[in-house]
Structure 1
């Protein structure tokens, strides 16, 4: 008499696994084992610690009845234990598609998080993101999924969404220190360092005093507040706890770079890059450090990796489909160049598009709309194309981002194209402005006290908060006699002109684009500006410029010098202390007084 499936189930329930397995094997040998029997046999073999045999039998069960979800879940468990996570994930996805809410959802979420973690550690955030989103949608009882998803969202440029996810995690799991630590990092990115500091101190004080990541985020929050010495001590403490903690190395390296401790910053960046997960961020920070130090051979080469700072978008969409121009002799080539980053960067490096044309290339330059007319006036030989205008790759041999041209040309400090002026205003615009400017009796000085905040970009917003000032901070300029101040300030900060601490001529309502600004600035004796696009415009017009630079000044201004090879008539006035404009404004006031006296 043949054994029955029911008898095998009874033995299985009684824990008689060997007898159950023998009975099911006999049933199969007789050709009487259906999908349910095969499933039970596979489970029995698994209980007997015979996973390879169990997997073969479960595969047969699934082949016989593809809708047998529990068999798929049991096979997935075996695959996961044997290290075949991809097969396990495929099986569990099938289960959860057929049976939403299946108990295997938690296991699938855990596997997805495990698959995403090394991608996050390797800074491959765009690849990790859909895995983590899937994990969270499947099962919210995996708090690490929410914590990791929040951090990943912040890395792909969605810090506001990251904050929402992490706050949801803390609502579900109060005191989950991973979520708290990651939320602190997000709050710092969102330029709320005081909140970040408080959260880190809560993690350290109440939950995880030895969590190096929390100490690292605390250091970052302190640095964002300009508490440099405290931040350094905290970063060093984090590295003492976890010597290979890459974010702590990168943050401490950046702090040393800001303070001018170049040997220390280089050592840390190199250490971080030698880690298995050194990451593109470290390469970018190291590039800026080398450029600022004047090591342009290393700096420009490393700066080629800057695209990694835009992990989910193509920073140069206009160049899609075109091979990258590798450098060399450009004669006879048709090369499409795309501007990038802000208006200031486009103005600063515009000279390289002209240099490319001077060396025999046919050059197209994809350009932000506010700069189109100015660039056309300044370089009639270039094809100036408004950004986002569709281009046909068949019209071009190569493409290249604008800020890659210094590397392609092998630019060094003593070989940069520095002939001025590189911008030419419209003579008709100049003629229109001239009566108003000529009517001013004193030294004619343009003022720009703030940059563009770019609220969609928290990193740029944070930089702008440090580089910009209020107009009232320039009040000492009122002490200089024989000066007429002219506003060149656009955007929301321009409203401060209504309460200027000195007479201020504001004609900016008549400025429609950068060509209009260029025409007005060309008639002025001097421009005083923070580090923003108008400073590059005035420098490129070969006008005298007094530039007020933040404490952690941009790499382009190099270190420890009050001049710049980029613009021969520009002088730099640097902050001595974080966020303190007192000393540079006093120096600018003295420089302005000397100019006014010698006029």
Structure 2
């Protein structure tokens, strides 16, 4: 078989691969064919030249198509085009790097590393390859290997600012911010007009907690290069976190004009609009989130619901994010039920028992029930798209409470257990699981130290109950003087997640909690809930209001400046004092 025929066959076969590097196989195929031709040469005493045709126009076409698909978020299509480019010219570094970057975007860093290492075998002095390789190694928690790669790159070019920037990222992740900033200084000395230096200075300052300094760095970046979409995005995102929503929208809109396919820009815009109560724009931009998800909860073969008549129809509402999000948005199932629909809900397994008490939900399913869904459902819609589909405004949020319900037998059980306690009964929740907090800037971290609740121990007329999912490590940090009642280990385990919590909350007087699922549970049950918010809070709680249109019984206590929980807890303490005095007056 001729050499070209072999190659066409290999490329055809590789078209079916999705997880393995086409470049890897094509390169080895060429080596194999070279070996064959060398053997033929020795046996026939003839020198056979292997001619590989190179079509630069085709190569450019594949790159252009791949780059467009990459920008749109169509990563598999981008990979297909980059593989075609690699098949056209197997030794081109740019094709390998594009493939590697696309794999990295999919979090398939092990495949990205293969491509980058292959590129280095072709050009061992290619600095960009070292940088990309270090990023994928870092993403795989191989920081030491990443640093070795960057140090090797420095020997090739000690004045390259990007190398210092990558090293700074390593130290930022280990919270060694001063070291990171010193490396940024070195990068700036190498090139004072490098936009990336300013962007990464802003990044380090953000994580250090100097948000004002970060904003200044990003502003300088936008002035240095007004066409840099990333600079406008970072400025807009940071302004949003800082609560400057109108300025944030201006910067984010500019970023979207420069790069209309940047997903995070649209998500940040949706949050800014939501915080301002502009639901129309918020929900429109929020639909961009589907480009971010690796796995869509959408069931193939069932039509999406966009507001069609649901009378005598069955609709599936499906959850997509955290448990708290589901507890907040499940209220929309009640609205569809009022419109004559049969309502099925696909939710997270831990919520099945709790939500089975909602009379407006006809049937609950999980991801395992795909066949049953296709046989019974007319339409489907994601829970967090419901406000947009129903054209909800802040004034029309369904806020009829309760819309969540506890098991009546468990309510009675806990009522009996707590009957001896005649004091003001307060449930508290102060901790947030770290995997939810890891990507939040210091200004936005929701958890509060249990030590901040110590002033409440001075009240003789209150009892504190732990609503926190706590392990032994967390319990060891609870001060004895707080006299906090901790429930037994079967709490929320034997009867299902949140089942005991809901029943206990029904028997308490007040819930004091940080922004976590307990806040949504208490609010949905219609109990009085006091929520503690960091200076930069989630957009659903708006900006300055101490009330929420989502939960009529909720009061909001916000940090007046970043990190200041003392002022918040002083207010809580004062409000409890007022309640105690009020109760005394009633019974005197």
Q: What TM bracket, shorter-length normalisation?
A: 0.7 to 0.9
Is residue 204–residue 215 contact of structure 1 (8 Å, CA) maintained in 2?
no
Aligned ranges for residues 379-458 of structure 1 at < 5 Å? 379=359, 381-391=361-371, 392-454=373-435, 458=438
1:75 pairs with 2:50: no
Report deviation, 1:198: 3.1
Is residue 113–residue 131 contact of structure 1 (8 Å, CA) maintained in 2?
no
Q: Please name the residue that 2:8 is paired with.
A: none
Q: How far, CA to CA, are the matches of 1:150 and 1:127 in structure 2? A: 14
Q: How far, CA to CA, are the matches of 1:387 and 1:500 in structure 2? A: 43
TM-score, length basis structure 1 = 0.77
Q: Please name the residue that 1:552 is paired with.
A: 536
Q: Please name the residue that 2:19 is paired with.
A: none
Q: How far, CA to CA, are the matches of 2:392 and 2:461 in structure 1? A: 42
Q: Please name the residue that 1:55 is paired with.
A: none
Is residue 378–residue 425 contact of structure 1 (8 Å, CA) maintained in 2?
no
Aligned ranges for residues 475-490 of structure 1 at < 5 Å? 475-490=454-469
Structure 2 SS opposite 1:328? coil
Point out the more displaced range, 289-298 or 251-260: 251-260
1:518 pairs with 2:502: yes
Is residue 163–residue 183 contact of structure 1 (8 Å, CA) maintained in 2?
no
Is residue 486–residue 506 contact of structure 1 (8 Å, CA) maintained in 2?
yes
Deviations 1:234-279 (A, max 9, x none): 1112222222222221221122223333331111111000003550
Q: Please name the residue that 2:453 is paired with.
A: 474
After superposition, the Cα gap between the structure-2 partners of 1:408 and 1:75, relative to the gap in structure 1 and judged at 3 Å, is same
Is residue 249–residue 268 contact of structure 1 (8 Å, CA) maintained in 2?
yes
Is residue 109–residue 135 contact of structure 1 (8 Å, CA) maintained in 2?
no
1:263 pairs with 2:243: no
Counterpart selection for 1:272 from 242, 255, 258: 255
Is residue 530–residue 555 contact of structure 2 (8 Å, CA) maintained in 1?
yes
Point out the more displaced range, 351-360 or 581-590: 351-360
After superposition, the Cα gap between the structure-2 partners of 1:337 and 1:540, relative to the gap in structure 1 and judged at 3 Å, is same
CA RMSD, aligned part only?
3.5
After superposition, the Cα gap between the structure-2 partners of 1:369 and 1:572, relative to the gap in structure 1 and judged at 3 Å, is same
Q: Please name the residue that 2:264 is paired with.
A: 281
Q: How far, CA to CA, are the matches of 1:88 and 1:353 in structure 2? A: 45
Is residue 365–residue 385 contact of structure 1 (8 Å, CA) maintained in 2?
yes
Structure 1 SS opposite 2:425? strand
Q: How far, CA to CA, are the matches of 1:536 and 1:269 in structure 2? A: 30
Q: How far, CA to CA, are the matches of 2:166 and 2:50 in structure 1? A: 35
Structure 2 SS opposite 1:399? strand
Is residue 132–residue 145 contact of structure 1 (8 Å, CA) maintained in 2?
no
1:502 pairs with 2:482: yes
Report deviation, 1:514: 0.8
1:597 pairs with 2:581: yes
Report deviation, 1:326: 1.3
Deviations 1:410-444 (A, max 9, x none): 11010010000011111111111112222212100
Q: How far, CA to CA, are the matches of 1:196 and 1:547 in structure 2? A: 37
Q: Please name the residue that 1:167 is paired with.
A: 147
Structure 2 SS opposite 1:379? coil
Q: How far, CA to CA, are the matches of 1:332 and 1:534 in structure 2? A: 35
Is residue 347–residue 537 contact of structure 1 (8 Å, CA) maintained in 2?
yes
Q: How far, CA to CA, are the matches of 1:553 and 1:321 in structure 2? A: 38
Structure 1 SS opposite 2:502? helix
After superposition, the Cα gap between the structure-2 partners of 1:439 and 1:573, relative to the gap in structure 1 and judged at 3 Å, is same
1:330 pairs with 2:302: no
Point out the more displaced range, 83-92 or 436-445: 83-92
Report deviation, 1:365: 1.2
Deviations 1:36-64 (A, max 9, x none): xxxxxxxxxxxxxxxxxxxxxxxxxx9xx
Point out the more displaced range, 197-206 or 446-455: 197-206
Q: How far, CA to CA, are the matches of 2:417 and 2:93 in structure 1? A: 68
Counterpart selection for 2:95 from 111, 136, 146: 111
1:240 pairs with 2:223: yes
Is residue 229–residue 259 contact of structure 2 (8 Å, CA) maintained in 1?
no
After superposition, the Cα gap between the structure-2 partners of 1:109 and 1:127, relative to the gap in structure 1 and judged at 3 Å, is farther
Report deviation, 1:532: 0.4
Deviations 1:114-156 (A, max 9, x none): 6777x79xxx9349979955531413223313424565x69xx
1:357 pairs with 2:337: yes
Aligned ranges for residues 131-142 of structure 1 at < 5 Å? 132-133=112-113, 135-140=115-120, 141=124, 142=126
Aligned ranges for residues 202-351 of structure 1 at < 5 Å? 202-276=185-259, 279-310=262-293, 313-316=294-297, 319-351=299-331
After superposition, the Cα gap between the structure-2 partners of 1:170 and 1:202, relative to the gap in structure 1 and judged at 3 Å, is farther
Report deviation, 1:587: 1.0
1:587 pairs with 2:565: no
The structure with the larger Rg is 1
TM-score, length basis structure 2 = 0.78
1:567 pairs with 2:557: no
Point out the more displaced range, 390-399 or 213-222: 390-399
Structure 1 SS opposite 2:409? helix
Report deviation, 1:524: 0.3
Report deviation, 1:73: 7.1
Structure 2 SS opposite 1:518? helix
After superposition, the Cα gap between the structure-2 partners of 1:555 and 1:162, relative to the gap in structure 1 and judged at 3 Å, is farther
Counterpart selection for 2:517 from 533, 536, 544: 533
Q: How far, CA to CA, are the matches of 1:168 and 1:129 in structure 2? A: 18
Deviations 1:1-31 (A, max 9, x none): xxxxxxxxxxxxxxxxxxxxxxxxxxxxxxx
Aligned ranges for residues 4-43 of structure 1 at < 5 Å? none
Q: How far, CA to CA, are the matches of 1:427 and 1:350 in structure 2? A: 20
Q: How far, CA to CA, are the matches of 2:558 and 2:443 in structure 1? A: 15
Structure 1 SS opposite 2:465? strand
